[in-house]
């Protein structure tokens, strides 16, 4: 899922400062799971903005709407309808959702309330970890299901680097992490050992074709069988 | 006539099964008060707290069980975290976080109502009216 975090309220207030009628739009899938942009967070932010605007001596009418996926146009109808009469829209979706909504509302400013962070997993309650970079050339089949691109601080293809201590990545020495960051390559070793596939580590990985990832420019997937 | 500060009490039914005497004591102390009975404080979300402040209250007080005496084990503990999250929002807005507070009451034990009412009234009267709250002349927001 896509993990996001709310922007500071002052930044959000700055973006929507001129709007007297505002729609706050949530997305009830990824960003709801990471407690940043679902309908609960829409309600929190709306209440906070209402109070902040009154304290600044301004009256702002705030509507709330939330849909299952802002990144899919068919799901956006409810938000588009709720946006009628609004002077601005504040979206609590990821960057993809904000842009899809903006495309459906060409005459309205659509602002992001979140900073989109990464593709990740819910590791524990309240802890989300980045574990996919969307590199376009998945290696998980070779590495026991643990991604060295996203989970190794150096994105090494032939690890470990030698800096790990006690199973932990050396990045913990440079920056405070809680919980500490494990060495992804030691995790890969343990996993392959449990699978009886340690011989995989004897094969050197060749240089990776990064052009399939974000280095290759804007990416798209075109499926002729799915086209209209 | 000068507007009285309004306190909304969210009362866990285990901690305070009957909030009516507390309401009477608060009104006698010069406040307007309303109570919302809750089956457990874990049912209270951060957005409930913020919405109540935005719409009707000058102060919100949650009456909850101590964290280690919660009927639902983690409920009271979760309430504490959600309340802190809502207080952080208030700090960002520039409102006093004391407008949202929790008082822990041991379930099944007699509550010192005069003392609780005096504490609540003291906080509400000191903080005064909530400048972020909807006033009577303002129209209802559309959902």
Pairwise CB contact (< 8 Å): B47 & A40: yes
> pLDDT per residue over A167-202, tens digit each?
999 999 999 999 999 999 999 999 999 999 999 999
How do the domains of chain B map onto residue ranges?
6-127
| CA atoms of B89 and A208, how far apart (whole Å) | 45
Tell me the pLDDT band of A111, cut-offs 50, 70 and 90: very high
Please name the residues in contact with A188: beta carbons below 8 A apart, sequence gap of 6 or more. A143, A144, A146, A148, A159, A201
Across the interface, whether the CB atoms of A51 and B86 are under 8 A apart is answered: no
CA–CA separation, A89 vs A82, rounded Å? 10
What are the strands of the beta sheet with A2-6, ordered from one edge? Answer: A2-6, A114-124, A127-132
Residues 6+ apart with CB under 8 A from A33: A1, A122
CA of A114, closest CA in chain B: separation in Å? 15
Alpha carbon distance B140, B28 (integer Å) = 30
Give pLDDT, residue B136: 56
pLDDT digits (tens, 9 = 90+) for A98-108: 999 999 999 99
Q: B6-127 sits in which CATH class?
A: alpha beta
Tally of CA atoms within 13 A in the half-sphere of B46 that contains its CB:
24
Contact A112, A121 (CB under 8 A): no
Lowest average pLDDT, out of A15-24, A209-218, B89-98, goes to A209-218
Interface of A with B (CB under 8 A): 8-10, 40-41, 43-44, 47-48, 50-52, 54-55, 59, 61-64
Q: At what angle do helices B113-127 and B20-28 cross, to 10 degrees?
A: 50
Q: A133-167 pLDDT, tens per residue?
A: 999 999 999 999 999 999 999 999 999 999 999 99
Give the β-pairing of A2-6 and A114-124: antiparallel
DSSP B75-122: HHHHHHHHHHHHHHHHHHHT--GGGEEEEE--TTSPP-HHHHHHHHHH
Please judge whether B138 and A59 are an interchain contact, meaning their C-beta atoms are less than 8 angstroms apart.
yes
DSSP state of A180: P
Q: What residues pair up with A118 in beta bridges, in sequence order? A: A3
- A21, A38, A43, A44: best to mutate for the B interface, most B CBs within 10 A: A44
What is the residue extent of each domain of chain A?
2-117, 136-216
Binned average pLDDT, 10 residues per bin, chain B of 143 residues = 90 93 95 95 96 97 92 88 97 97 91 92 96 72 52
CA-closest candidate to residue B9, choices B21, A217, A17, A25: B21
B99 touches chain A (CB under 8 A): no
Q: What is the CATH number of domain A2-117?
A: 3.40.50.2300
């Amino acid at each position: 899922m896509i993990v996001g975090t709310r922007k500071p309220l002052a930044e959000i207030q700055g973006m929507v400062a001129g709007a007297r009628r505002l729609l706050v739009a949530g997305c009830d899938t990824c960003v709801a799971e990471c407690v940043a942009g679902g309908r609960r967070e829409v309600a929190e932010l709306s209440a906070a903005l209402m109070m902040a605007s009154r304290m600044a001596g301004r009256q702002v009418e705030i509507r709330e709407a939330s849909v299952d996926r802002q990144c899919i146009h068919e799901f956006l109808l409810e938000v588009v309808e709720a946006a009628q009469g609004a002077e601005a829209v504040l979206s609590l979706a990821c960057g993809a959702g904000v842009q899809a909504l903006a495309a459906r509302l060409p005459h309205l400013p659509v602002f992001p309330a979140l900073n989109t962070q990464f593709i990740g997993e819910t590791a524990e309650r309240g802890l989300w970890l980045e574990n996919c970079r969307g590199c376009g050339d998945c290696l998980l089949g070779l590495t026991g299901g643990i991604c060295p691109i996203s989970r190794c601080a150096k994105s090494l293809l032939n690890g470990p680097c030698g800096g790990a201590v006690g199973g932990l990545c050396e990045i913990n020495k440079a920056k405070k992490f809680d919980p500490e960051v494990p060495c992804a390559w030691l995790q890969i070793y343990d996993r392959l050992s449990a699978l009886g596939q340690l011989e995989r580590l004897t094969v050197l990985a060749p240089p990776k074709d990064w052009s399939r990832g974000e280095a290759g420019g804007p990416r798209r997937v075109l499926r002729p069988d799915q086209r209209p | 006539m000068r507007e009285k500060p309004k306190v909304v009490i969210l009362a866990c039914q285990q901690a305070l099964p009957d909030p009516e005497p507390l309401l009477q004591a608060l009104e006698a102390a010069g406040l307007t008060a309303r109570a919302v009975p809750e089956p457990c404080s874990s049912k209270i979300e951060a957005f409930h707290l913020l919405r109540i402040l935005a719409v009707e209250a000058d102060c919100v007080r949650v009456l909850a069980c101590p964290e280690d005496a919660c009927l639902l084990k983690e409920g009271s503990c979760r309430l504490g975290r959600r309340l802190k999250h809502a207080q952080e929002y208030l700090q960002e807005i520039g409102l006093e976080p004391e407008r949202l507070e929790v008082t822990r009451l041991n379930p099944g034990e007699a509550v010192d109502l005069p003392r609780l009412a005096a504490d609540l009234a003291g906080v509400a009267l000191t903080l005064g009216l909530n400048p972020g709250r909807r006033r009577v002349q303002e129209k209802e927001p559309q959902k």
